[in-house]
Amino acid sequence: MDIKHVKDYISWLYFQYLLITCSYVLEPWEQSMFHTITVTVFAMVVYTAYVFIPIHVRLAFEFFSQIFGGQPESTV
């Protein structure tokens, strides 16, 4: 892939982002605040999913394995 095509594609994606969020009508300082808040919220969602989803999947697996007749855990 050519570097120019990648640059054009990234600029097209950024333009689509501006159109979807309607942030192209904001002033530059408003745009920077909007982008900062958006990136912060997205980062918090990704971090929360990374930390808590494996725990919930494990708990759900244990719950359903007990319901559907899984092997009981051995007691020592």
Whole-angstrom Cα distance, residue 70 to residue 60? Answer: 13
Is the pLDDT at 71 greater than 80? The verdict is no
Confidence of residue 69 (pLDDT cuts 50, 70, 90): confident
What are the tens digits of pLDDT across the range 39-61? Answer: 999 999 999 999 999 999 999 99
What is the rounded (10 degree) CA torsion for 10, 14, 17, 21?
170
What are the tens digits of pLDDT across the range 5-52? Answer: 999 999 999 999 999 999 989 999 999 999 999 999 999 999 999 999
Which pLDDT score, from 0 to 100, does residue 72 have? 60
- With contact defined as beta carbons under 8 Å apart, do 31 and 23 qualify? yes
Which pLDDT score, from 0 to 100, does residue 75 have? 58
Which pLDDT score, from 0 to 100, does residue 3 have? 82
